Amino acid sequence: MKLNLIIAGLALSLAASSASAVTLDEAAAAIKAAKKSGYPWTTTGSLMKKAEKALKKNETDKAEKYLKQIMLHTSLSLKQAEAAKKAGPNF
């Protein structure tokens, strides 16, 4: 499980740092990785729908904005999953 999260996190960081725009496939893969971690954020589904709608209307700037938000939210959800593993009482 930890290896899957590390791989997903690496893929997300590479996709987010690349100069090219994020694609729908990359965003869908990021959402899938966040769901697999057990801590998916509810915002990603609606952002994906907005991005798809914007692409259908040829509003690439809006779509890119939504896709970047998806990548941010999914990377934060993976960090949340890692933090939850380490959570516990502090005595």
Query: Does the residue 54 lie in any domain?
Result: yes
pTM of the model: 0.73
The total of structural domains in the chain comes to 1
Q: What is the pLDDT of residues 17-76, one digit of tens each?
A: 544 578 999 999 999 999 999 999 999 999 999 999 999 999 999 999 999 999 999 999
Helices (runs of H) and strands (runs of E) counted in the chain: 4, 0
Query: Does the residue 77 lie in any domain?
Result: yes
Are 22 and 68 in contact by the 8 Å Cβ rule? The answer is yes
Q: Is residue 86's pLDDT more than 80? A: yes
Range of the domain at 18: 2-86
Q: Which among 78, 55, 77, 80 has a CA at the least distance from the CA of 65? A: 55
Residue 89 backbone zone (phi > 0: left; psi -120 to 50: alpha; other: beta): beta
Mean pLDDT of the region 8-20: 55
pLDDT recorded at residue 19: 45
Residue with tokens 């589904």: 45
Query: Does the residue 91 lie in any domain?
Result: no
Query: Does the residue 45 lie in any domain?
Result: yes
